[in-house]
């Protein structure tokens, strides 16, 4: 346990995927790192529990993918159900593992790498000197009491909660970009082999999901994107109830499902928006920096990626001698994040603008079923093997919409030519 006053090279606040990834990178490089979380692990995290390809890549680099695969439920891909009822199956590698277990595995990996992981410690705000963050102050549960930890670099990876971002003076938008709700259900449906995204007309630009997590249990939820700066009001409990009782998808998949406890909600910060990414002495990672995708809300992969990048930048900064030199290195972090994932985030933000229109979602589903090239382009985006911005763009959507018209004109022309 840390003393009431402690000193370390790097303090990481938050032991979710972003914080744990940063701690693993730093501890493996031999850095003295303290990772703090207000929760005690294993702890629950309201999530869909779905791991998509960007998460595999990061988990592989962190050396924990084999453990995750051994415990996770492996699925064949995703089924996207459009508002008009058409569905598209996209084959790709998907895993689901409840966050209670995934996050515990990551905390254990950070500990085995040498990080001091302190649980049950709530950080209240920064320690500051001359406008720089030089550590954190907080309190532990039980006998630990008040706590101050000084460090050369601090990494804030506290997820979507806005209050802590405010106390570190990095918050730009208080409201989250999305709200989501999930419940676990016991289901008798043995045919659940894909994760299902159902674009219910009344939820657009959000959706409902059914993700099997193994042992006859499904994670079922809804997400609503709230518009710029979280303007829209929503009732997610009602949305979930209506999805379960009215949607043909839910009635087919969850006909004999029983809830395992109440559904729980949480905010989601998306699109690399809503907070500053650094300030002198401090880096942000994961949902604290809005690293979840717009339009989808998936963020475990990008939390891991930004956590790793924050860890690497902090590591480079520790080689500097003066605070000013450290800050010059920390200042490169936003550029490095933009380079890594700016493009894909831009594409998801464009997608969010378009999926609010049911006609667009129906059109994409119809074209993906009719044209192999369209489906392959979608698959490449989902697998993160293609530059998403090339596929999800306004010109491409127009091309998609006009393709059947051109195709029928071509057919008419060739019929005319053969008749002549
Ligand atoms: C309903 C729902 C469904 C989702 N489904 C998916 C999905 O299927 N796939 C996917 O990829 N993403 C999904 N997401 C998004 C995903 O949950 C987040 O992107 C991810 O958890 C972000 O990781 P993080 O490490 O940044 O933050 P978190 O996982 O939120 O971790 C932050 C940690 O910081 C700790 N903390 C916070 N404040 C303090 C403090 N003051 N002091 C000390 N500790 C603190 C918390 O206890 C927590 O452990 C979903 C989100 C929601 C809400």
The domain that holds 187 is classified in CATH as: 3.30.9.100
How far, in Å, from the CA of 309 to the mean position of ligand 1? 18
Q: How confident is the model at residue 178 (pLDDT cuts 50, 70, 90)?
A: very high
Q: Is the CB of 162 under 6 A from ligand 1?
A: no
Instruction: Find the domain containing 30 and state its range.
Output: 5-73+96-175+270-350
Assess whether pLDDT exceeds 70 at residue 60: yes
- Which of 170, 222, 264, 303 has most ligand 1 atoms within 8 Å of its beta carbon, as the pocket-test mutant? 303
Q: What are the angstrom distances between the C-alpha of 271 and each of 37, 159, 167, 352?
A: 25, 14, 22, 10
Q: Render pLDDT for 316-374 as a digit per residue (tens, 0 to 9).
A: 999 999 999 999 999 999 999 999 999 889 989 988 988 999 999 999 899 889 988 88
Q: What is the pLDDT of residue 384?
A: 78
Q: Does pLDDT of 274 surpass 90?
A: yes
| Atom of ligand 1 lying closest to residue 43 CA | 49
Cα 44 to averaged position of ligand 1 atoms, centre (Å): 10
Asked whether residue 16 falls in the same domain as residue 126, the answer is yes
Looking at the fold, whether 131 and 278 belong to one and the same domain comes out as: yes
396 with 371, same domain: the answer is yes
* Nearest-atom index, ligand 1, CA of 291: 19
Whether the predicted pLDDT of 409 surpasses 60: no
DSSP 8-state assignment for residue 16: S
CA distances from 67 to 52, 290, 400 (A): 16, 28, 41
Q: Whose CA is nearest to atom 16 of ligand 1?
A: 299
- The helix, strand and coil proportions of the chain, stated in percent and rounded to the nearest 5, come to 45, 25, 30
Q: For residue 20, is pLDDT > 80?
A: yes
Per-residue exposure over 321-339, b if at least 16 CB sit within 10 Å of its own CB, e if not: eebeebbebbeebbebbee
Query: How many angstroms is it from 261 CA to the middle of ligand 1?
Result: 20
Tens digit of each residue's pLDDT (9 = 90 or more) over 199-230: 999 999 999 999 999 989 999 999 999 976 55
391: tokens are 């596929």
| Percent of the chain whose predicted confidence (pLDDT) is above 70 | 89
Q: How many domains does the chain have?
A: 3
Whole-number average pLDDT of the chain = 91
Based on the domain organization, do 375 and 392 belong to the same domain? yes
Q: Does ligand 1 come within 6 angstroms of the Cβ of 268?
A: yes
Are the beta carbons of 157 and 19 closer than 8 angstroms?
yes
The residue from 242, 268, 294 where one domain ends is 268
The CA-to-CA distance between both ends of the chain, in Å, stands at 88
Closest listed residue to residue 189, CA positions, set 227, 163, 215, 154:
215
Global confidence as pTM: 0.93
């Amino acid at each position: 346990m840390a003393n009431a006053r402690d000193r370390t090279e790097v303090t990481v606040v938050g032991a979710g995927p972003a914080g744990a990834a940063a701690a693993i990178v730093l501890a493996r490089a031999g850095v003295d790192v303290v990772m703090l979380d207000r929760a005690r692990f294993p702890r629950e995290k309201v999530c869909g529990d779905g791991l998509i390809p960007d998460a595999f890549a990061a988990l592989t680099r962190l050396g924990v993918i084999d453990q995750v695969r051994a415990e996770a439920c492996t699925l064949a891909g995703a089924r996207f159900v459009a508002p008009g009822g058409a569905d598209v199956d996209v084959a790709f590698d998907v895993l689901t593992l409840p966050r209670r277990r995934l996050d515990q595995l990551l905390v254990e990996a950070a500990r085995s790498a040498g990080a001091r992981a302190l649980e049950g410690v709530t950080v209240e705000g920064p320690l500051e000197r001359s406008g720089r963050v030089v550590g954190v102050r907080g309190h532990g549960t039980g006998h630990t009491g008040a706590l101050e930890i000084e460090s050369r670099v601090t990494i804030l990876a506290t997820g979507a909660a806005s209050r802590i971002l405010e106390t570190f003076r990095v918050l730009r938008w208080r409201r989250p970009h999305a709200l989501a709700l999930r419940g676990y259900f016991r289901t008798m449906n043995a045919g659940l082999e894909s994760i299902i995204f159902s674009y219910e007309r009344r939820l657009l630009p959000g959706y409902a999901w059914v993700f099997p997590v193994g042992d006859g249990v499904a994670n079922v939820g809804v997400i609503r994107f709230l518009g710029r700066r979280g303007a829209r009001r929503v009732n997610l409990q009602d949305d979930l109830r209506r999805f379960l009782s009215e949607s043909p998808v839910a009635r087919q998949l969850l006909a004999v499902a029983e809830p395992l406890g109440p559904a729980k909600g949480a905010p989601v910060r998306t699109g690399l928006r809503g907070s500053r990414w650094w300030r002198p002495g401090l880096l942000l990672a994961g949902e604290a920096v809005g690293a979840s995708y717009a339009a989808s809300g998936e963020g475990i992969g990008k939390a891991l990626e930004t956590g790793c990048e924050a860890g690497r930048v902090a590591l480079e900064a520790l080689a500097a001698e003066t605070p000013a030199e450290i800050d010059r290195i920390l200042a490169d972090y936003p550029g490095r994040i933009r380079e890594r994932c700016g493009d894909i985030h831009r594409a998801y933000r464009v997608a969010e603008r378009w999926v609010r229109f049911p006609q667009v979602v129906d059109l994409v589903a119809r074209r993906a079923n009719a044209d192999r090239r369209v489906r392959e382009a979608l698959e490449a985006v989902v697998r993160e093997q293609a530059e998403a911005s090339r596929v999800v763009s306004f010109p491409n959507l127009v091309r998609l919409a006009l393709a059947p018209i051109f195709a029928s004109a071509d057919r008419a022309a060739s019929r005319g030519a053969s008749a002549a």
